[in-house]
A and B are shown apart, each in its own frame.
Chain A
């Protein structure tokens, strides 16, 4: 099982295209996952009875094999990027929803009361007090969801998408390890870099944490 370096050298353009394609699918999924989980999490945080229901539902979705989700979406969105992104989005929900709810829970009651006492409207309090304070926990969820999505994208190769996952099918069909190794390594690198970038984003977004740590 040796790597055919000349193949890699000949295919840098293709590898770049696939990597971009791969990342785009994963990031879209996290984006839409956040878009869906943020309001749901606020709801679950405020309305206690909904909490168990929503979290339980997202947990159950998580137990469905991803390949099955992609196939079951075919009648709805066909062999398109939409199918891939929708499937991946479903998997991000379990992490994003749980972490966002936990993040909101972690905001001290006193802080919320103080905001209220100062006459801050509920929506404003949510946006300017609760969510920022919940950010570290939410960001931890975003990091996990991103890494998970990056590793899951390749499953969509079974429906002709899947970014770097196409290299796995290709190598499999032709008994050719080089594309497979390239795909695995690039996926890992992508996850590593994306995770590091998110750490940096979090650092920038939560200056108060930084100050506390430095103090």
Chain B
């Protein structure tokens, strides 16, 4: 299915439009950011309520949409009204939106989230990261228990490139400093689990950083074409195996564990939400997630449909559709 925003179109949007006009003069007066709007965080844990419904925001790659619809399926089954907003952008865009109240819940990834909040974070083990996340999170946000499924960042080369340059690990890249081109989503240029960490931890310097997308058509197309030598992909991407691409090993543990973890605003975090997402997290494995990705990306199934089918099959929801 096309990613559809299911917000009602009626009065709210009309009012939104009115506000639009009002916000034009406000432009010149504004100095803060959306972070300054973070007033309704609830101040600490507990006290949230999902009664008014939960808006799930998802990032600009298909797996995150699948996860968003899985969350929606689990919450719907628990009687929580949900709205999924697909393709909102990167973590850099989503977290301010979560704090500002545009969305309430994000399917996140442990390590990447931790490094976004604290670029110097050292934790790599799941439990440690969970604790570190709890500390690093800004007021008003909380993480729930992490799930079984994991989707890590991988730095990938083609078989030919691996042979030509003798590459098996990230450390090998430093032997070819200034020669190789890396392709990744634009935000990866500034991320620890990305160009910054590769330089700091492995001493790797690339000839060029090419801004592409998140394990999407651009980065994979560029790797196939040879426009980039190294590509940042997701480990749950079935194209890695299908193309016999080589995932470079990470002997110094630059890339942290990336278990899927729900990040929720305090205002919506009640026991219903916690329980429903914990059940989902325990049931969804990495293999499941990889298969769901394949169904969406390769078989062109709707993220919402594959999520609902999976949820029904695994006892998350009652089997509604036959």
Contacts and interface: CB of A to CB of B under 8 A. Distances in A.
A–B proximity contact (CB within 8 A):
yes
B16 A82 contact: yes
Contact of A21 (B5, B20, B57): B5
A11 B1 CA distance: 7
B60 A169 contact: yes
A174 interface: yes
B23 A36 contact: no
Interface stretch (B81-89, B183-191, B260-268, B279-287): B81-89
B300 A82 contact: no
Nearest to A160: B88
B242 interface: no
Q: Assign chain B's interface to a size class.
A: 35 or more
A39 interface: no
B21 A14 contact: no
A159 B93 CA distance: 9
B257 to A, nearest CB: 26
B226 interface: no
A159 B88 contact: yes
A15 B4 CA distance: 9
B102 A79 contact: yes
B16 A80 contact: yes
Given A160-B87, A166-B86, A169-B87, A82 B17 contact: yes
Interface string A32-67: 100110000000000000000000000000000000
Interface stretch (A69-77, A102-110, A189-197, A207-215): A69-77
Interface centre among B57, B61, B102 (most CB of A within 10 A): B102
A173 interface: yes
B17 A159 contact: no
B2 A166 contact: yes
Interface in B205-238: 216-217
B85 A79 contact: yes
B217 A172 contact: yes
B301 to A, nearest CB: 10
B312 interface: no
Contacts of B37: 78
Given A32-B21, A78-B101, A82-B16, 18 more contacts: A21-B9, A24-B9, A28-B14, A32-B20, A36-B21, A36-B24, A74-B34, A76-B23, A76-B26, A76-B30, A78-B102, A159-B89, A159-B93, A160-B89, A166-B86, A169-B60, A173-B60, A173-B297
Interchain residue pairs A-B with the least CB separation, the first 5: A160-B88, A28-B17, A86-B20, A85-B20, A75-B33
Interface of A: 4, 7, 11, 14-15, 17-18, 20-21, 24, 28, 31-32, 35-36, 73-83, 85-86, 89-90, 157-161, 166-167, 169-170, 172-176, 179
11 contacts: A75-B32, A76-B26, A78-B100, A85-B16, A86-B20, A159-B93, A160-B89, A166-B87, A174-B296, A175-B297, A176-B300
Interface of B: 1-7, 9, 13-14, 16-17, 19-21, 23-24, 26-27, 30, 32-34, 37, 57, 60-62, 85-89, 93, 96-97, 100-103, 216-217, 296-297, 300
